Structures are given as C-alpha cells and as structure tokens.
C-alpha cells in the first residue's frame, strides 16, 4: 500500500470528518459527544493551520488518516510544547498510518523549535467495546512516557474513563531558548 502524506486544507473537512465521526459515535477515544458539522470541522482545520501542522495520509487519493498539532496550553511560556492527535480510518487501523503521520508531525515541529510533545489519551480501567489500551501502546511505541494519570475524568456511554497525559521530548532546552517558528514559515522553505 502506497501512502502519501500531505498538508491538510480546509476543503478536506468532509473526508476527514467521515474518519472522525466513527470515533465520536462508536468509541471513547474522543470524549466529544456530538459529531461536529462539516463547517465546524473546516474551521478547526483552518484554525490549526494558522500556526501548527495538520497532515493527512492518503492512499489512491483517499484520506485514510490524519494528525495535527496544537497548543499545549494558551500561555506564552508553553509555546515550546505542542499537543498532538491522530486518527486513522477504522479500516486502516494497525497499518502503520499513525506512525507515518506522527513521524511527519515530529519532523515539522522539530523544525519549528518545539521541544516537548504531549498526547491526551483516554484509557479504560478495563478494556470494553468502546475503548482499548491500544492508544497507550501506540504512544509508548512512538517514544512517549506517561506523565500524568487522571481517574474517572471522562464520562461517555454511561461509564467512566481515565485519561493519561503522555510526553515525548524532541528538542533541547536552553536558558536562552530560540523563538518558535510559525508553521506557515516552515512549509515555505
């Protein structure tokens, strides 16, 4: 299977929303209850691209996964940290799509000067039909370490789920840290 990784554009919203809708309706991977509208999703892509990368994996011209970065927190001192998320089409899970997407994001974020990556991961106490521990395993495989565990903080499908923060350091930390480069300036080079 040949996979192309490319930058998303707001016009990809409908195709990417099809991937995401499955997770909203059928899993506790996202704690979102309602599938966003296509316009809401289009705006999410546009908002992300103002500063951060949003990438798509395609095979034969059809999106089969996507990943994006965003601010870890809204305060200026957190500029060197980013939160990542990844979603693969349900028919392309465990095919290496997530690894390709995260690897691309890490390369871009490193060029931007980001030093710390974070993932907010839903975790079941016991695996069920809505949530497994696969995401934790994926992040460990990608070099993330669990740095925080929140108990019963997400409620979906009439049950409580935990949430884990995972961290990966990809850059050096200096006392005179260089400023972050906006993604839009990286992609032009």
Contact 102/84 with Cβ under 8 angstroms?
yes
Kindly report, residue by residue over 67-92, the tens digit of the pLDDT.
999 999 989 999 999 999 999 999 98
Kindly report, residue by residue over 111-123, the tens digit of the pLDDT.
999 999 999 999 9
What CATH number should be reported for the domain holding residue 40? 3.40.630.30
Which residues, at least 6 apart from 10, have a Cβ–Cβ distance to it below 8 Å?
42, 43, 45, 46, 49
Q: How many CB atoms lie within 10 A of CB 151?
A: 10
- Our count of domains for the chain comes to 1
Q: How many CB atoms lie within 10 A of CB 18?
A: 14
Residue 182 lies in a domain: no
Residue 150 lies in a domain: yes
Kindly report, residue by residue over 122-147, the tens digit of the pLDDT.
999 999 999 999 999 999 999 999 99
Please report the pLDDT score of residue 188 as a whole number. Answer: 53
Query: pLDDT category, 50, cuts 50, 70, 90?
Result: very high
Residue 184 lies in a domain: no
Please report the pLDDT score of residue 187 as a whole number. Answer: 64
pTM attached to this predicted model: 0.95
Average pLDDT over residues 147-168: 97
Residue 127 lies in a domain: yes
């Amino acid at each position: 299977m040949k996979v192309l990784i490319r930058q998303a554009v707001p016009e990809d919203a409908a195709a990417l929303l099809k991937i995401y809708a499955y997770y909203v309706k059928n899993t506790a991977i996202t704690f979102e209850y309602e599938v966003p509208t296509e316009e809401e999703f289009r705006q999410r892509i546009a908002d992300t691209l103002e500063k951060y990368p949003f990438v798509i994996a395609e095979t034969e011209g059809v999106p089969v996964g996507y990943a994006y970065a965003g601010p870890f927190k809204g305060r200026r001192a957190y500029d060197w940290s980013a939160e990542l998320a990844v979603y693969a089409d349900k028919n392309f899970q465990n095919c290496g799509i997530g690894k390709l997407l995260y690897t691309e994001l890490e390369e871009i974020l490193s060029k931007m000067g980001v030093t710390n990556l974070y993932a907010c991961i839903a975790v079941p106490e016991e695996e069920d039909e809505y949530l497994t521990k696969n995401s934790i395993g994926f992040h460990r495989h990608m070099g993330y370490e669990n740095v925080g565990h929140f108990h019963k903080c997400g409620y979906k499908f009439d049950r409580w789920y935990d949430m884990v923060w995972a961290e990966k350091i990809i850059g050096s930390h200096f006392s005179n840290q260089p400023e972050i480069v906006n993604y839009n300036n990286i992609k032009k080079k």
